[in-house]
């Protein structure tokens, strides 16, 4: 059962309310059991976003706030209305000058601080001048401690119907010990986080045990859209001669569990070599460099029910790739042409960015278009390269015309389309990768 602590309220779009709302955020975080550092970061995030959005909101329209304390993170959402929205200071590549009295630059500093205090944020355009901004601060967990793989595993193997938090934590630790970082969710590296996410319903999983109750395998999944689930694994901890049977047990248990749900497709680009290949179809592959070696990571999928077709938007530069992909996968799609933009709605674009240095992985998604998009992409690539990351991805949702229209900017910035994720977003998603690996 969820033990979330929630507060919802509306406030006038006036800066005088930012301080009391920040105090409320601190109280909520303390009530949810977070430490001083996380409470301070959450309080700063809420206060600075309130200050900035109060200045951006139009007329007398209020800000609608939602504050939530979950087991593993603190969440703040801000629903607001604004015309000509520009949030370029939220880019992870932003550099703010703190020696200014200019009101506009002061607002940029506030956005800069909020963006740095939060672990991640997401901006959704809800139509016309309505937006939803969400920001999260993660709980701090102790790092994983090395463990040895179980010995003396004995058949028969079976799915554990109700694994305990300790078993989930142990299984995540085993996966980190046995598999490359690329294939493991980041929550596995702090095993206390993984069972908290399962308890919250953010992640679901199948756990396999042997005849004596020792952990033999794990397969986790979570929604990536209203129609698609994203899975990792299977992670199998048995001797090689037992691996195929346990992998099949995990995959069959996973497919049986999700077949009764609302989703119509399962996807992965973190599938392990233990995945039964005959059960899934390839969508493409992503690439990375490991110790100077080029490695390929397959992207796979499986339908849970019939695909009845979609309409997707497409720029001219992407049409050939999409048609070839849809023909190969026999996916019924209506491809709608979108014009290359001749003007931009604002000067500064905004990109959402997540990265993981351990997994040598970064991902970008567009939140706001702008005149500087190509330069902004290049700045993000350079920033990730300075951190030693060369696998840099970009997600494009083909349900959104302005996103689909950015294909030319991506090609100019050095990205290439690698795979289509059917129903991976509001419609299909195209995964691009920066083509020049380090």
Whether the Cβ atoms of residue 340 and residue 368 lie closer than 8 Å to each other: no
Residues 6 or more apart whose CB falls under 8 angstroms from that of 417 comprise 318, 321, 407, 430, 431, 432
Q: What is the pLDDT of residue 2?
A: 56
Bridge partners of residue 391, in order along the sequence: 361
Report d(CA 194, CA 202) in Å as an integer: 10
Whether the Cβ atoms of residue 374 and residue 348 lie closer than 8 Å to each other: no
Structure token pair of residue 165: 């938090």
Task: Classify residue 197 as left (phi > 0), alpha (psi -120 to 50) or beta.
Answer: alpha
Q: Is the dihedral of CA 93, 99, 105, 110 positive or negative?
A: positive
Q: What is the pLDDT of residue 153?
A: 93
Report d(CA 18, CA 54) in Å as an integer: 9
Whether the Cβ atoms of residue 359 and residue 256 lie closer than 8 Å to each other: no
Structure token pair of residue 330: 């026999």
Q: What is the pLDDT of residue 98?
A: 47
Residue 184 sits at φ, ψ, to 5 deg, of -100, 130
Report the 10 Å Cβ neighbour count for 382: 10
Place of tokens 């809420």: 46
Q: Tens place of pLDDT for every residue, the chain, 438 residues?
A: 357 899 999 999 889 999 999 999 999 999 999 999 999 999 999 999 999 998 887 666 889 999 999 999 999 999 998 888 889 999 999 875 444 555 555 567 888 999 999 999 999 999 888 999 999 999 999 988 888 999 889 999 999 999 999 999 999 999 999 999 999 999 999 989 999 999 999 999 999 999 999 999 999 999 999 999 999 999 999 999 999 999 999 999 999 999 989 999 999 999 999 999 899 999 999 988 777 788 899 999 999 999 999 999 999 999 999 999 999 999 999 999 998 777 787 889 999 999 999 888 999 999 999 999 999 999 999 999 999 998 999 999 999 999 999 999 999 999 999 999 999 999 999 999 998 765
Q: 215: closest CA among 186, 183, 250?
A: 250
Report d(CA 164, CA 251) in Å as an integer: 21
Report d(CA 289, CA 114) in Å as an integer: 33
Place of tokens 């019924």: 332
Fold agreement (1-140, 158-303): no
Report d(CA 355, CA 358) in Å as an integer: 9
Report d(CA 208, CA 201) in Å as an integer: 19
Report strand pairing: 228-233 vs 265-271.
parallel
CATH superfamily, region 158-303 = Gcn5-related N-acetyltransferase (GNAT) (3.40.630.30)
The CATH class of 1-140 is alpha beta
Output the pTM of the full model.
0.92
Q: Tell me the three state secondary structure of residue 355.
A: strand
Whether the Cβ atoms of residue 232 and residue 221 lie closer than 8 Å to each other: yes
Q: What is the DSSP string of 221-265?
A: EEESSSSEEEEEE-EE-S-HHHHHHHHHHHHHHHHHHHHTSS--E
CA-based max dimension of the chain = 71
Q: What is the pLDDT of residue 233?
A: 96
Q: How many residues are given for the chain?
A: 438
Bridge partners of residue 288, in order along the sequence: 295
Q: What is the pLDDT of residue 107?
A: 61
Domains of the chain by residue range: 1-140, 158-303, 307-438
- Which helix (H) or strand (E) segment holds residue 414: the answer is none
Structure token pair of residue 299: 């992207």
- Which helix (H) or strand (E) segment holds residue 433: the answer is strand 429-434
Report d(CA 385, CA 350) in Å as an integer: 19
Report d(CA 353, CA 373) in Å as an integer: 14
User: Is the domain 307-438 a CATH 3.40.630 member?
Assistant: yes
Q: What is the pLDDT of residue 99?
A: 47
Q: How buried is 282 (Cβ within 10 angstroms: 0-12 exposed, 13-18 middle, 19+ buried)? A: middle
Please give the radius of gyration of the chain, using alpha carbons only, rounded to the nearest integer.
23
Q: What is the pLDDT of residue 350?
A: 96
Whether the Cβ atoms of residue 112 and residue 131 lie closer than 8 Å to each other: no
Measured at the alpha carbon of residue 100, what is the angle toward residues 46 and 43, in degrees to the nearest 5? Answer: 15
Bridge partners of residue 229, in order along the sequence: 223, 266
């Amino acid at each position: 059962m969820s033990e979330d602590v929630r507060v919802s309220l509306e406030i006038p779009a006036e800066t005088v309310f930012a301080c009391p709302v920040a105090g409320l955020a601190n109280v909520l975080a303390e009530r949810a059991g977070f430490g001083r550092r996380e409470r301070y970061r959450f309080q700063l995030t809420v206060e600075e976003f309130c200050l900035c959005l109060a200045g951006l909101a139009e007329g007398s329209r209020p800000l609608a706030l939602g504050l939530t304390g979950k087991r593993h993170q603190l969440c703040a959402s801000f629903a607001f209305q604004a015309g000509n929205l520009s949030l370029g200071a939220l880019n992870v590549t932003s550099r703010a000058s703190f020696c200014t009295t200019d009101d506009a630059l002061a607002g940029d500093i506030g956005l800069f601080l909020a963006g740095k205090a939060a672990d991640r944020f997401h901006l959704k355009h809800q139509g016309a001048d309505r937006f939803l901004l969400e920001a999260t601060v993660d709980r701090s967990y102790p790092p994983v401690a090395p463990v040895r793989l179980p010995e003396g595993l004995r058949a028969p193997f079976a799915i554990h119907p109700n694994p305990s938090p300790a078993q989930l934590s142990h299984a995540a630790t085993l996966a980190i010990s046995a598999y490359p970082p690329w294939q493991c969710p980041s929550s596995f590296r702090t095993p206390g986080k993984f069972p908290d996410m399962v308890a919250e319903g953010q992640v679901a999983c199948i756990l396999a045990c042997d005849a004596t109750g020792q952990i033999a395998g794990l397969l986790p999944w979570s929604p990536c859209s209203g129609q698609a689930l994203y899975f990792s694994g299977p992670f199998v901890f048995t001797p090689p001669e037992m691996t195929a049977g346990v992998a099949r047990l995990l995959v069959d248990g996973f497919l049986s569990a999700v077949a009764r749900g609302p989703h119509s497709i399962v996807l992965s680009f973190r599938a392990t070599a233990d995945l039964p290949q005959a059960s899934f179809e390839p969508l493409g592959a992503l690439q990375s460099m490991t110790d100077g070696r080029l490695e390929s990571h397959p992207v796979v999928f499986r339908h849970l029910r019939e695909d009845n077709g979609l309409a997707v938007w497409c720029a001219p530069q992407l049409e050939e790739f999409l048609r070839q992909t849809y023909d190969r996968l026999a996916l019924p799609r209506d491809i709608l042409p979108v014009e290359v933009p001749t003007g931009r709605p604002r000067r500064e674009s905004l990109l959402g960015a997540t990265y993981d240095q351990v997994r040598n992985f970064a991902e970008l998604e567009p939140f706001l278009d702008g005149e500087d998009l190509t330069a902004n992409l290049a700045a993000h690539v350079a920033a990730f390269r300075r951190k030693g990351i060369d696998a840099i991805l970009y997600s494009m949702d083909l349900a959104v015309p302005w996103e689909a229209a950015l294909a030319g900017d991506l090609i100019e910035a050095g990205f290439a389309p690698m795979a289509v994720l059917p129903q991976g977003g509001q419609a299909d998603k195209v995964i691009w990768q920066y083509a020049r690996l380090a």
